[in-house]
Structure 1
Amino acid sequence: MRPAEAEARLARALARAGAGGEPSSDRELHEAPTPPVGPLRPAAVLLAVDLSNGPARLLLTRRAAHLRHHPGQIALPGGRTDPGEDAVTCALREASEEVGLPAGAAEVLGLLPAHETVTGFAVTPVLAVLRTGFVPRPQAGEVEEVFAIPLAHCADPGRYRLEGRIWQGRLRRYWVLPWGPHYVWGATARILRGLALGMQP
């Protein structure tokens, strides 16, 4: 997907989100939905679309295998918000820490509807473009790999599929987005699918 087309379609997704885009939830696919346990904790992730060199690509990370939470999973740069932080500040701070994104490198376009995770977070996706390339620096001990996948792949709803597994005695269903050796699933795939649906004509 060429940069000009990518920007136009990202703008379309943001316009649709601003015109009543509904928050999503990990639990919406479960056979027996359950209410959240306790108050949701705010978090944010950065959907950084690199327009600097050739077709548009989306930045992703693979978490370190030894981590206690979500080891080895594919994720967007991000994390929980610190006290007093807004979603944009949090997403940019986390991207700086996790992948070495330089200050001022991301042009923030806007926010997508929040996503509620089964682990109790309300995650706000922050959509941004990168017009200048940079050399990623994975955060030592936290991030195993930083890579980018074509935005055209992420933006095709037909690339996503539903899978499921038994978790805590119940069937839990979730979206997945395979790409080469990488297996994007769970909240990350659900957020990306929401973006893909918003980008459609």
Structure 2
Amino acid sequence: MSVFLADVDGDADPDVVVTNSGTDNVGVLLNNGDGTFAPQQTFSTGAGSKPMSVFVTNVNNGNDPDIVVANSGTDNVGVLLSNGAGTFAAQVIYPTGAGSKPMSVYVVDVGGNPDPDIVVANSGTDNVGVLLNNGAGGFGAQTLYPTGAGSKPVSVYVANVGGTPDRDIVVANSGTDNVGVLLNNAAGVFAAQ
């Protein structure tokens, strides 16, 4: 359902990371350096997880990028820390709430420090969740921001749209046929959509 390109094995060539919702895992296809890719290595996201969205970035100040995935079937976000050379540790899960059905994830600093935080669109509970990085690659409990009754948010993007130094959240609400903007009030706290 989602694909992300990033160099995960340190050879300067972009590799493919893909969510496999039917088999409950993420796949990593390492770049051979000539436009072809090695066979997929898979990393479990848990039985029934149905991963829908993936983002790759360094979340723990290590040398290699890590994988963050939205698991719609098990109502959580999974973080797979890199072991180096394109391999990953078992995922650590962060709950997004019963029935939340997270559909999209974006990872970038929204809290005003150098550490990337997780922003997730929770389609089943009509909200966006923000999980702030603790500075060591772990994340706190999510703070929820409503997107409106029946909104069913399915995609989220984070960028500075408000003209301040802080990054804001833009969300696609499939149930109410609109786009919502949540402005960052600083330190990772957001105004109402």
User: TM-score higher than 0.5 here?
Assistant: no
More strand by share: 2
Q: Which has more helix, going by share of residues?
A: 1
Q: TM-score, normalised by structure 1?
A: 0.27
Larger relative contact order (CA 8 Å, sep ≥ 6): 1
